[in-house]
Amino acid sequence: MRFRKWAAVRCASVLVLVVLVFGLGRVSAQAALPDGVFVRDSGGTIYLIIGGQRAKVPFYPATDGVINSVPDSGQYVVPGTAGTLLMLGPQPDFVNQPPVAVGQATATPTPTGDPPPTVTIQVDDDNAKVGQTVNITVIANDNHGIDWIEWEGTVVNDNGNDNKPTNDPQLDGSHRHDCDGNKQCAFVWQVTPTKTGDFTLRARARDDADNRSDWVSIDFRVKQ
């Protein structure tokens, strides 16, 4: 009887140990994925991570013409704030990071000796009138690939810093174009200023290794 009782206790202990090891192994291997990201497994199934769970994504059948007829917000689906699971926002930084592996943390790559993109900004008339449409061109080059280019309008303040808004919705805010990893990227924006003043147009770019260029600026005057 004593032998059977000792054997039962030993078997129960082994069973508890196995359960604990298996459970801890599953927890430690759990990969954390933020809400709002799409992931695709090796079998090609696409999921959306939402509320800490993965859900299969239904695709609505449509031609390119139908898709292109819908206005493009220029934004991305990103994790929400203030209790909202998903919302629209700018391209998140994790887009160009290496794939997340189970039990492995992610880190932003910092390649050694990799220079940021070179950027130029041009305007076809730097002395425009209110209501006149002008073309603003941003061109970037990179040795590997460019993620995006962007420009914005500012006003040079008394301290010499160009970080004051113009109060013209045509010029204020970030005007961004995705470059899809091309080594050279250029885009032309057509804007029609509504406010008079002496402004600064500045542009920058980010490559696919998350290296951002410095702002490059040109003067832009709008008169009545």
What is the full DSSP assignment across 21-48?
A: HHHHHHHHTPPP--TT-EEE-TT--EEE
Contact of 131 with 142, CB cutoff 8 Å: no
Q: What is the pLDDT of residue 56?
A: 82
> Is a pLDDT exceeding 60 seen at residue 65?
yes
Question: For the segment 71-99, what is each residue's pLDDT rounded down to a tens digit?
Answer: 877 777 777 665 566 777 777 766 655 56
Name the more confident of 54 and 57.
Answer: 54
Q: Of 16-25, 132-141, 158-167, give the lowest mean pLDDT range.
A: 16-25
CATH 2.60.40.2550 in the chain, residue ranges:
118-223
Looking at the domain 118-223, which fold is it?
Answer: Immunoglobulin-like (2.60.40)
pLDDT score of 153 more than 70: yes
Instruction: Provide the total of helices (H) and of strands (E) in the chain, helices listed first.
Output: 2, 14
The tokens of 11 are what? 């078997």
Element (H, E) at 199: strand 197-207
Q: Are strands 127-129 and 216-223 parallel, antiparallel or unpaired?
A: parallel
One DSSP character per residue, 120-142 reads EEEES-SEEETT--EEEEEEEE-
As a whole number of angstroms, the distance between CA 178 and CA 136 comes to 16
Residue 108, pLDDT above cutoff 70:
no
Of residues 143 and 22, the one with the higher pLDDT is 143
Give the distance, in angstroms, between the CA of residue 122 and the centroid of all CA atoms in the same chain: 25
Give the pLDDT confidence score for residue 25 in this predicted structure: 42
Average pLDDT for the chain: 77
Q: For residues 95-124, give the mean pLDDT.
A: 66
Comparison of pLDDT for 162 and 11, the residue scoring more: 162
d(CA 212, CA 149): 10
Residue 158 confidence class, pLDDT cut points 50, 70, 90:
low
